[in-house]
Amino acid sequence: MRYKHHISTTTAEMVENTTYSIETPKCFHCGDSGAVEVPMAGFLRRQMGALIQDAYPELSIALREQLVTGTHPECWNEVFGN
Ligand SMILES: [Zn+2]
């Protein structure tokens, strides 16, 4: 039992310290797709149906925008300014 507990703790820590690179759709401005690095824990929350702002509270709004629409933060700035 103790050993089992140890394993699950390690797994939780692994999830906590791992990031996942999500491929994003093609950007409407430059036409390139991209990727956003997110914490694995947030990725799992998102998979379970969490809202994007609840899954990735630490991500900037610009990066959340890229996850949803594919628009790169720098392209967003070019089109709409700061
Ligand atoms: Zn772009």
What pTM was estimated for this model as a whole? 0.76
Rounded to the nearest whole angstrom, what is the distance from the C-alpha of residue 58 to the centroid of ligand 1? 22
Rounded to the nearest whole angstrom, what is the distance from the C-alpha of residue 32 to the centroid of ligand 1? 6
Rounded to the nearest whole angstrom, what is the distance from the C-alpha of residue 26 to the centroid of ligand 1? 8
DSSP string, 53-77: HHH-TTS-HHHHHHHHH---HHHHH
Structure confidence at residue 7 (pLDDT): 59
Q: Any long-range contacts for 7-11 (C-beta under 8 Å, 24+ apart)?
A: none
For the chain, domain boundaries: 19-80
The packing angle between helices 73-80 and 61-69, to 10°, is: 100
Q: What is the pLDDT of residues 8-43, one digit of tens each?
A: 667 777 777 899 999 999 999 999 999 999 999 999
